[in-house]
Structure 1
Amino acid sequence: MAKSDTDIPAGARRRLLALAQERGASLAGLSELLGRNPSYLQQFIRKGSPRKLEEGDRRTLARFFGVDEGELAEAREKSYGATPPLGAGWVEVPRLDIGASAGPGALPAGEGAFDAFRFSRRWLAEHGLEGARLSAITVEGDSMEPLLNDGDEILVDCTERPFRDGIHVVRLGESLMVKRVASAGGGRLSLLSQNLAYPPVSVDVADVDIIGRVVWKGGRI
């Protein structure tokens, strides 16, 4: 028996189905738009296979429907910067179960929060972070030493702001990295390491996603 719409889990699959119905677009046609077999999106929506849409597929569909790409991401994928309120004087910032490589690039195994840091609202306001979308992740590797060491935890501000040079967490392909990011002109960015043993990497702006700016670090002495 085919599943009814109410049987489809809330989230990216339900949103994609709603958008297709609103636009009068067939799932087979959308699948072909992605260069996939005609049953690809039908399988995704009805059976959850694949478990999530690949980033490039989300981007293509978002452009087609004229919506934000995040609407087609599962809740777990949108955990970057999800800062839940705690109380009048405090904010809990989720510690995500992923690492940002300070080396060649790490593949995140998951993006679920396993714990939280508690920050004073006053402290956040003093640092221009009141109401910011924050999360904490772990540094992996040595390319940002001595500024950031392997095992340090960093606070990442994922609030949408105009880009400016600085230390950022970026995603290049499927790799999550923490680097100093600088404008290089001509639509390119330079990904720079503090450790001079690692050469700069030049990338096209369109090829890198800037997840957020690093605004604080903590680690063992």
Structure 2
Amino acid sequence: MASGRAQTGDPRERLAELAQEAGVSLASLSRMIGRNASYLQQYITKGSPRRLDEADREKLAEFFGVPESELGGRREISYDIPVSRRKADWVEVPRLSLSASAGPGELPAEEVPFDTFRFSRRWLRQQGFEPAKLSAIRVVGDSMEPLLRDGDEVLVDHSPSNFREGVHVVRIGDALHVKRVQAGPPGRVVLISENHAYAPFEVGLEDIELIGRVVWKSGRL
């Protein structure tokens, strides 16, 4: 996702540094490489495993846009890559100045980008995402815990497609929500919170707008 600054000698320290700089949790990174949520935390804090598997290291290095040598791989030969080529390898995804409420409903601010997240173009392509159809917004509230926590940033795919059940940002009236959306009776959908303190509720398709599907998240530990 984000390129690093100065390289430390210890690949564990470097991985922790990269995750902190990118604002992504170790649990999210572990799931991204197909491991259990505590895998990278144990690698960094307990030294288990001693080394990252080659496939895991490759995925992480590609995600952060750094050489595998920074994460314990063999040191590659350095080439002088033209600036135009380096810029072409990254996509600036807009961060919108609005929030999706995981709670009663957040009234949106003006939908104008105030910042960007930088993602690897290759990584987005591998995930099947079209960069022009993506935006990032902040989650507010606790109704989607533990999946999404207050303050998490989510990547929203606005690509038009047939309805698929999953976590979506939806608009009901003037308020935005982030909920797990499931098909209900004909002409209706069910909005479900991950936090069982919030009861599911049904709405008619005419009363809801699917803004986009949540496809990735980042957040503080």
Which band: TM-score by shorter chain?
0.5 to 0.7
Aligned to 1:112: 112
CA distance in 1, matches of 2:158, 2:130: 13
After TM superposition, the structure 1 = structure 2 runs for residues 116-195 of structure 1, keeping only pairs within 5 Å, are 116-195=116-195
Deviation at 1:160, TM superposition (A): 0.5
Deviation at 1:161, TM superposition (A): 1.2
Amino acid at match of 2:89: G
Percent identity, aligned pairs only, is 61
After TM superposition, the structure 1 = structure 2 runs for residues 29-178 of structure 1, keeping only pairs within 5 Å, are 87-178=87-178
Deviation at 1:87, TM superposition (A): 4.0
CA distance in 2, matches of 1:166, 1:204: 17
Amino acid at match of 1:99: S
Deviation at 1:125, TM superposition (A): 1.0
CA distance in 1, matches of 2:109, 2:216: 23
CA distance in 1, matches of 2:132, 2:95: 15
Structure 1 alignment gaps of length 5 or more: 1-85
Q: TM-score, normalised by structure 2?
A: 0.60
Task: Judge conservation of contact 2:167–2:181 (CA < 8 Å) in 1.
Answer: yes
Moved over 2 A (4+): none
Task: Judge conservation of contact 2:93–2:131 (CA < 8 Å) in 1.
Answer: no
Amino acid at match of 1:144: M
Task: Judge conservation of contact 2:91–2:131 (CA < 8 Å) in 1.
Answer: no
Number of equivalenced pairs: 136
Task: Judge conservation of contact 1:96–1:114 (CA < 8 Å) in 2.
Answer: yes
Distance 1:150 1:188, change over 3 A: same
CA distance in 1, matches of 2:162, 2:122: 24
Task: Judge conservation of contact 2:158–2:213 (CA < 8 Å) in 1.
Answer: yes
Aligned to 1:219: 219
CA distance in 2, matches of 1:109, 1:160: 23
Over the aligned positions, Cα root-mean-square deviation in angstroms equals 1.3
Which of 1 and 2 has higher RCO (CA within 8 Å, sep 6+)?
2
Greater shift, 109-118 or 142-151, is seen at: 109-118
Question: 1:185 is paired with a residue of what secondary structure?
Answer: coil
Task: Judge conservation of contact 1:99–1:108 (CA < 8 Å) in 2.
Answer: yes
Distance 1:185 1:140, change over 3 A: same
Q: TM-score, normalised by structure 1?
A: 0.60
CA distance in 2, matches of 1:126, 1:141: 31
Structure 2 alignment gaps of length 5 or more: 1-85
CA distance in 1, matches of 2:139, 2:148: 7
Deviation at 1:110, TM superposition (A): 1.9
